[in-house]
Amino acid sequence: MKKILLGSIITSLLVLFTACSGENEKSSGSGNETVDFFSDKVDDEAAYSEISELINEDIGVELNFVGYSDTTAFQTAVQQSLGQENSPGMFTWWSGYRMEDIAKSGNIEDLTSEWEEYYIPAGVNPDLAEAFKVDGKIYGAPATVLYNGIYYNQEIFEKYNLEVPKTFDEFLALCETLKSEDITPIGMQDAGWASFLWFQQLIAAYNPELYTSLVNGEISYQDEQVVEVMEIWQSMLDNGYFAEPVDHMTRAKQFSNGDVAMTYESTRFTKNLEEDFGLEAEKDYSRFILPSMESSQKPVIFYETSPIAISSASSEKDNAIKILREYYGEEQQQAYADQMGIGFLEGVELGNETNQNITEKANSDDHLSMIRYYEATPATIVDAATTSLWEFVYDPSTSSIENTLKTIQAESEKAFSN
């Protein structure tokens, strides 16, 4: 006891001493100029330290990645420091309503001219800017783009002589075959938000325009087209095509060892499958896009993209703008792709065939790419929709379709009325 107490007193004095001297060290700096980059995607750290080296060689500015594994901590640190000189030069953010909130406060840089002069010439798809637009101005630059699709276990497909479906009916037949072989066709993630994934994809397969009008509040959720889509989903649930919803890692395990044959996921999933489960692209797993219900329509690839924003008041602002101009350089994007296996610029080798395929498809004319539901429609609707869609998934019936759509429509009317 006494030793500990004594030790504590000594250390406490030492700390106060070092804490004070630590301050001085920081202000004197290490010679090189650095820009803090706050991010909630801690897995990206290695990729960004390489990018930082590359950029540093070119323009002599370093990128200091500060990871936040806790969303609350991240959000508080960013939001509450905005408007102050010591706020981070760059930070990742969310598109949609959160982007809107901070853009409207006037605390982040309008990057519209940067897009025209630097990002688009570097090969960034101008359509991506849609996700970061607030009142006609673009407030973010894409950190990366993730494309959603249906992963399938190739071993199972080969074993039962199954082929990638070309029509929606073929897809349903495929599910039926798997079911009859005692394999659950589709694995599902139980996260609170995850119920919109199949909703958006089925709506878009029914009619891409229906999706667009729905998220823009131009058509009612109680419209008979939506009801029809829900009924299709209901019959799929009733037929046992969907596995019981489970946590992310369990689902990855189900998919890897063949307990489920397919699952709906983004391009980030490949890293998980390769590193943690030792699967190989185009050998153990591959991916297809859900075919449209009408052969005349193009299938839809949903994407999500998180923006990098620049804090206007930050003392590092000018350097941050310079860094973003360099960020879309081929080497830099290649470095990101090498680490993460994902990318979105043409010419970047992803090192993962499955991801390469979908990225090419998304950039081609045979497919439509659309922003996923979570970012495409106001947050209050998303919140109500994800909750009540889960209610439907757990208890699919005609009356629950009715209730679910009624709940979402009520929120939609509220959100679009003002």
Partner 1 sequence: MKNSVESRAPVINTFLSLLAFMWLFPFLFVVFNSLKSGQEYNLGNFWDLPTTFSIVENYEYLATKIDLLSGFMNSLVYGLVAAFLAIAFSVLAAYAISTLNIRGRLFWFLLIYSGTIFPFQMYLIPTFRFYSFTGIYDTKFGLIIFYIAICMPFCLFVLRNFFYTLPKELVEAAKMDGAKDLTILRKIYVPMAKAPIAALFLFQFTWVWNDLLFGMTLSKSEETRPIMASLSMLGGAGNNIPAVLLAAFIASIPTLVIFMVLSKSFEKGFIISTK
Partner 2 sequence: MSLTNEISNEPNNKGVQKKPISHSKSRKNRKIEWTPYLYLLPAVTLSLLFFIFSIVFTFFISFTKWDGVNDIQFVGFENYIEMFNDPNFLIACLNTVIWVLGGLIIPVLIPLILAIAITKSRFGSAFKNIFYLPNALSPTIAGIIMTVLLSLYGLPQVMGMLGLDSLQTNWLNIPYVNTLIMVASGAWQGIGINLILFIVGLNNIPTEPIEAAKLDGASGLTLYTKLILPLLKPTTLIVLLMSLVNSFKTFDVIWVMTGGGPYRTSETLAVTMYKEAFVNNELGYGSAVAIFLSIITLAISWFFLKDTFKGEE
The footprint of partner 2 (CB under 8 A) covers 71-72, 75, 79-80, 82, 97-98, 101-102, 104-105, 107, 190-192, 244-247, 249-250, 253-254, 379-380, 383, 387-388, 390-391, 394
Name the residue nearer to partner 2 (CB basis): 282 or 395: 395
Residues ≥6 apart with Cβ < 8 Å to 30: none
Q: How many helices (H) and strands (E) does the chain have?
A: 19, 11
Give contact residues for partner 1 (rule: CB under 8 A). Answer: 1, 4-5, 7-9, 11-12, 14-16, 18-20, 22-23, 26, 36, 38, 41-43, 45, 66-70, 72-73, 76-77, 80-81, 84, 86, 88, 248-249, 252-253, 256-257, 269, 271-272, 275-278
Residue 43, contacted partner among partner 1, partner 2, none, CB below 5-8 A by kind: partner 1
Q: 53 touches which of partner 1, partner 2, none (CB within 5 to 8 A by kind)?
A: none
Q: Which is nearer to partner 2, 176 or 391 (CB)?
A: 391
Q: How far apart are CA 270 and CA 158, in angstroms?
A: 20
Radius of gyration over every alpha carbon of the chain, rounded to an integer in angstroms: 24
Give CA–CA dist 32/24, Å, rounded: 17
- Strand 285-288 relative to strand 184-187, pairing: unpaired
Q: Output 32 or 257, the one with its CB closest to partner 1.
A: 257
Q: Which residue lies nearer to partner 1 by CB, 266 or 407?
A: 266
Between 232 and 379, name the residue whose CB sits nearer to partner 2.
379
246: partner contacted, choices partner 1, partner 2, none (Cβ within 5-8 A by kind): partner 2
Q: How far is the CB of 192 from partner 2 (least distance, A)?
A: 5
Residue number, 88 or 299, with CB nearest to partner 1:
88
Q: Which residue from 322, 345, 367, 329 is spatially nearest to 34, judged by alpha carbons?
A: 322
> Which 3 state secondary structure label does DSSP give 395?
coil
Q: Coil, strand or helix: which one is 160?
A: coil
Which residues are paired to 134 by β-bridges?
137
Q: Which does 42 bind (CB under 5 to 8 A by kind): partner 1, partner 2, none?
A: partner 1
What separation, in Å, do the N-terminal and C-terminal C-alpha atoms of the chain show?
A: 64
The one of partner 2, partner 1, none whose footprint includes residue 391, by CB under 5 to 8 A per kind, is partner 2
CA nearest neighbour of 234 among 398, 369, 349, 86: 398
Q: Dihedral through CA 310, CA 315, CA 318, CA 319, nearest 10?
A: -90
**Helix/strand/coil for 301:** strand
Instruction: Give the residue with the Cβ less far from partner 1, 67 or 123.
Output: 67
Quote the least distance from Cβ 317 to partner 2, whole Å. 17
Report in angstroms how near the CB of residue 262 gets to partner 2 at its nearest. Answer: 17
Q: How far is the CB of 363 from partner 1 (least distance, A)?
A: 26
Nearest partner of 168 among 300, 304, 365, judged by Cα: 300
E strand or H helix that includes residue 187 = strand 184-187
Provide the minimum distance between the beta carbon of 334 and partner 2 in the complex, in angstroms, as a whole number.
34
